[in-house]
Amino acid sequence: MPGGLSPRRSPEPRSLKRALLRLDLRRGTPDQIGQAVQAMLDETDMPLSTRVELLGGLIVVESLRPYWCNGRTAHEAHEALRQDDPELADAIEALAPMLLGRAQAREDAAAAIEAIEALLGPSAPATE
What does the pLDDT look like over 66-121, one tens digit per residue? 999 989 998 899 999 999 999 999 999 888 888 878 777 888 888 888 888 888 87
Classify residue 68: in a domain, yes or no. yes
Clarify whether residues 115 and 70 are in a common domain.
yes
pTM equals 0.64
Classify residue 124: in a domain, yes or no. no
Range of the domain at 99: 47-119
Alpha-carbon distance 46 to 52, whole Å?
Answer: 10
Alpha-carbon distance 119 to 105, whole Å?
Answer: 21
